[in-house]
Chain A
Amino acid sequence: MFAKEQVDSIREKKRKWEETTLKKVLDRFPERSQEFGTLSDLPVERVYTPADVADLGYERDLGMPGEYPYTRGIQPTMYRGRFWTMRQYAGFGTAEESNKRYKYLLEQGQTGLSVAFDLPTQIGLDSDHSLAEGEVGKVGVAIDSLEDMETLFAGIPLDKVSTSMTINAPAAVLLAMYIAVAEKQGVAPGKLAGTIQNDILKEYVARGTYIFPPQPSMRLITDTFAYCSTNLPNWNTISISGYHIREAGCTAVQEVAFTLADGIAYVDAAVKAGLDIDKFAPRLSFFFNAHMDLLEEVAKFRAARRLWARIMKERFGAKNPKSFMLRFHTQTAGCALTAQQPDNNVVRVTLQALAAVLGGTQSLHTNSRDEALALPSEDSVRIALRTQQIIAHESGVANTVDPLAGSYYVENLTAHIEKKAMEYIEKIDALGGAVKAIEQGFIQREIQESAYEYQKSVESGKRIVVGVNKYQLEAEEAPKDLLKVDPAVGRYQKEKLSRLRATRDPGAVELALKRLKETAQSDANLLPPIIEAAKVYATLGEICGVLREVFGEYETSVIF
């Protein structure tokens, strides 16, 4: 970005400064540490100058907002046009209770819904399955059939809100139920806006709610791409997630690398299935983590955007600019929040949320201060939402696009993260792509290694976590007003299910499941028979049961 003579002269100047001004001070006041690094252990220099961004070409590497390579953001006006979508992930207990929480959040000014499902639902088990015992409604809402889904969205106009559903292995089934609820509300599928997470690869490495082996799982995903590109043009068919990988303990570079490598695998699979890249790629969305190292995180978001644009253009030869754009949701890092002195978490979340906004996120979930204690209470969620609103309305950071561009440090770090992530992607390519790398345990091993290193660095005191290994309180106040899920949910849900099984049309269910099985055994698109089954109130467990029968189940590999 600077002329060569200018850079040389700056280098010379810095050298002199080091020998004179700096040296004098260092002799008398040594620095806090021999070496400085980011949260992810990337080296951090004392001071950055134009010489550190000498290789950067403004037009090539940054460009204008809304233009290739989208480093500065995917829209020309960013938050001057509209703030990011404030979207708090929520759900627990019964559909009735969660429905109430959603209405509360919408009243409080939240602009989109984000549904958390309980674990049985995420693993495709009905509430009356023996493995669901003790888990129903605990960490999300229990959905067994279309009936529950109708309750969940009662009184919420599905043509007015956008809904994000954190559902992966059975994503197609929940989407089918959503389509069916909309139809009952008189809303056509084409009008639906929202996202299903539908990202199975990161389930294998970091999140754990897998059902089927990789091959049929990838088919379910590409079938969803295909179905939505004609029927639900405003639906984000996948949210390719680095969030969970980061939470499982990886570094910022690994987060970018593993997420984009997964993205490459999905694009490859869809192209192989005969889909037109410029038709499905514009509906791919991403999901990242906002961790504690503010500037590293901003650089990470910018690097990811640039790298994805380049991959789509150069590697896949996409033509549609919308295919180049990495649109992403962000959640603040839950793993950085502590059980000790939980109010400090409000401050942490503010910094993390700021990073997401400075990094140009499209939507944001801010964690609550009771993150490390229980599901968030209503009060805590409100503070978390207010944090976003304060950043949006009061801090001023939303008034200009990509405000940290041009910072020597941030630009240098952006380029550094991009380069390191690309090296990982090349390594994964050499292993045969993300699916193979996962089968061989490569990605899992890398994540675990980082997680262990992190733990050791906290235990050794090399890394300070305020309130945990420094500035502890003698006696912690016992946390109050934590959310408690009513243990009766399980029973309630079971009863509801047995009523449903007794009252629905058994012939229709049987027929729909038979069709589903036949389709699963063929290579036709799975979405139509799944939608059909959902509509006649086949349960989630029954639908997934048929698919389990045909596809088998995934066997995890544990690698140390």
Chain B
Amino acid sequence: MTLAEGILAGDQRAIARLITIVENRPREAIPALQALYPHTGKALVVGITGPPGSGKSTLVGRLTKRLRQLGKTVGIIAVDPTSPFTGGAILGDRIRMQDLATDPGVYIRSMGTRGSLGGLAKATHNVIKILDAAGKDYIFVETVGVGQSEVDIVKTADTTLVVLVPGLGDDIQTIKAGILEIADIFVVNKADRQDAGRVVAELEMMLDLSSKEVEWRPPVYSTVATSGKGIDAVVEGIEQHIHYLCQNSKLEARRRERYRAEIMNIVKEGIITQLLDFWSVGGKLETLLAEVAAREKDPYAAAWEIMQTFTGNGKGGS
């Protein structure tokens, strides 16, 4: 059985293996990803972002349990930061979801960012596809949660949940611009703490004031993820948002944007790899660099030369 066949049959080890390949040697994964592609597009991808320690993982665990009660299967991708110095990482999100580790209807995978800066790992979108093809109804993607640079998640998820907690102080002010843009749903977690009500009120006010004309006004839920309070409502909120997206064919539009970005990325990377592969042969690139260093050529001229490679005008054209 090929990996792709194994994945379509829901084999956990096959899923696990292909994810590893996608992370480590992405080019090798291409045939399998191609084989899986026709089977994707059914899962709903829910992004979860918010400040560190706000309860994202606990929340994902609870939401998953609720969805399981409703008979849905769930994939979870939890991203934690990789140390830029050592390349190592401690992936600790799972600890909040360990009671799901033995549920065959749930697949949890932890990922290090491995140098990516936008809050996800480079391979995350492919991991989503793998879990999608494996038949998961919902896929949660938990970002690293650094607050400011969570740009990737909106480009990846159908629905984005932003988690906030009381006691962030002025932080809410500083991140507010960013979060208003990306949130489809707000969750004020740790509602067992003082001031949760105030955060909810503050958010509502911000939403009222936001001049952006909106068809979907992000709802604000308050939850206590540790006890499960308020979780059912969030699940309903997610379903409503998906419903809204489907009705207005927004889902198609959102996903189309995603395909565009993905294809562009593949193209960019492909071109760069090809060019550099070509230029690395026989020390051509080094020679060019030496010329730039010696001020014989400027960087623009050098880059132009590289870009001309396959159009026949370059020095090394074939």
Please list the residues of chain A having a beta carbon within 8 angstroms of any beta carbon in chain B. 213, 440-441, 552, 555-556, 558-560
Inter-subunit contact A556/B90 (CB<8 Å): no
Inter-subunit contact A558/B226 (CB<8 Å): no
Inter-subunit contact B90/A552 (CB<8 Å): no
Q: Which residues of the partner chain A approach B92 to less than 8 Å between Cβ atoms?
A: 558-560
Inter-subunit contact B53/A555 (CB<8 Å): no
Nearest A residue to B93, CB-CB: A558
CA distance A529 to B167 in the complex (A): 38
Q: Tell me the count of chain B residues lying within 8 A, CB to CB, of chain A.
A: 8
CA distance A202 to B85 in the complex (A): 33
Q: Which residues of the partner chain B approach A213 to less than 8 Å between Cβ atoms?
A: 226
CA distance A559 to B53 in the complex (A): 10
CB distance from A131 to the nearest CB of B (A): 13
Inter-subunit contact A552/B227 (CB<8 Å): yes
Inter-subunit contact B53/A440 (CB<8 Å): yes
Among residues 91 to 111 in chain B, which have CB atoms less than 8 Å away from a CB atom of chain A? 92, 95-96
Inter-subunit contact A441/B95 (CB<8 Å): no
Inter-subunit contact B90/A555 (CB<8 Å): no
Among residues 168 to 190 in chain B, which have CB atoms less than 8 Å away from a CB atom of chain A? none
- Decide if B73 is an interface residue (CB 8 Å cutoff): no
Q: A552-B226, A555-B96, A559-B92 are in contact. List 4 more A-B contacts (CB 8 A).
A: A555-B58, A555-B226, A556-B95, A558-B92
Q: Which residues of the partner chain A approach B53 to less than 8 Å between Cβ atoms?
A: 440-441
Nearest B residue to A560, CB-CB: B90
Q: Which residues of the partner chain A approach B95 to less than 8 Å between Cβ atoms?
A: 556, 558
Query: Can you report 14 A-B residue pairs in the complex whose CB atoms are below 8 A from each other?
Result: A213-B226, A440-B53, A441-B53, A552-B226, A552-B227, A555-B58, A555-B96, A555-B226, A556-B95, A558-B92, A558-B95, A559-B92, A560-B90, A560-B92
CA distance A555 to B97 in the complex (A): 10
Q: Which residues of the partner chain A approach B90 to less than 8 Å between Cβ atoms?
A: 560
CB distance from B55 to the nearest CB of A (A): 10
CB distance from B192 to the nearest CB of A (A): 9
Chain B positions 78 through 94: 1 when the CB is less than 8 Å from some CB of chain A, otherwise 0: 00000000000010100
CA distance A556 to B96 in the complex (A): 8
Q: Which residues of the partner chain B approach A555 to less than 8 Å between Cβ atoms?
A: 58, 96, 226
CA distance A559 to B96 in the complex (A): 12
CB distance from A385 to the nearest CB of B (A): 41
CA distance A560 to B95 in the complex (A): 13
Q: Which residues of the partner chain B approach A559 to less than 8 Å between Cβ atoms?
A: 92
CB distance from A58 to the nearest CB of B (A): 45
Q: Which residues of the partner chain B approach A441 to less than 8 Å between Cβ atoms?
A: 53
CB distance from A552 to the nearest CB of B (A): 6
CB distance from A432 to the nearest CB of B (A): 9
Chain B positions 31 through 66: 1 when the CB is less than 8 Å from some CB of chain A, otherwise 0: 000000000000000000000010000100000000
CB distance from B295 to the nearest CB of A (A): 47
CB distance from A97 to the nearest CB of B (A): 35
Q: Which residues of the partner chain A approach B96 to less than 8 Å between Cβ atoms?
A: 555
Chain B positions 245 through 258: 1 when the CB is less than 8 Å from some CB of chain A, otherwise 0: 00000000000000
CA distance A555 to B224 in the complex (A): 13
Nearest B residue to A552, CB-CB: B227
CB distance from A326 to the nearest CB of B (A): 32
CB distance from B259 to the nearest CB of A (A): 37
CA distance A560 to B82 in the complex (A): 13
CA distance A421 to B129 in the complex (A): 53
Nearest A residue to B90, CB-CB: A560
Q: Which residues of the partner chain A approach B227 to less than 8 Å between Cβ atoms?
A: 552
CA distance A556 to B95 in the complex (A): 9
Q: Which residues of the partner chain A approach B226 to less than 8 Å between Cβ atoms?
A: 213, 552, 555
Q: Which residues of the partner chain B approach A560 to less than 8 Å between Cβ atoms?
A: 90, 92
Q: Which residues of the partner chain A approach B58 to less than 8 Å between Cβ atoms?
A: 555
CA distance A555 to B92 in the complex (A): 14
Nearest B residue to A556, CB-CB: B95
Nearest B residue to A559, CB-CB: B92
Nearest A residue to B226, CB-CB: A555
Among residues 253 to 284 in chain B, which have CB atoms less than 8 Å away from a CB atom of chain A? none
CA distance A137 to B129 in the complex (A): 49
Q: Which residues of the partner chain B approach A440 to less than 8 Å between Cβ atoms?
A: 53
CB distance from A445 to the nearest CB of B (A): 11
**Which residue among A213, A441, A552, A558 has the maximum number of chain B CB atoms within 10 Å of its CB?**
A558
Across the A-B interface, give the 3 residue pairs with the lowest CB-CB distance, nearest first: A560-B90, A558-B95, A558-B92
CB distance from A492 to the nearest CB of B (A): 30
CB distance from B139 to the nearest CB of A (A): 24
CA distance A551 to B20 in the complex (A): 41
CB distance from B179 to the nearest CB of A (A): 22
CA distance A440 to B51 in the complex (A): 13
Chain B positions 218 through 229: 1 when the CB is less than 8 Å from some CB of chain A, otherwise 0: 000000001100
CB distance from A559 to the nearest CB of B (A): 8
CA distance A560 to B96 in the complex (A): 15
Nearest A residue to B192, CB-CB: A215
CB distance from B101 to the nearest CB of A (A): 15
CA distance A213 to B58 in the complex (A): 15
CA distance A560 to B92 in the complex (A): 9
CB distance from B231 to the nearest CB of A (A): 14
CB distance from A548 to the nearest CB of B (A): 13
CB distance from A214 to the nearest CB of B (A): 11
Nearest A residue to B190, CB-CB: A439
Nearest A residue to B94, CB-CB: A558
CA distance A555 to B95 in the complex (A): 9
CB distance from A520 to the nearest CB of B (A): 16
CB distance from A435 to the nearest CB of B (A): 12
CB distance from A382 to the nearest CB of B (A): 43
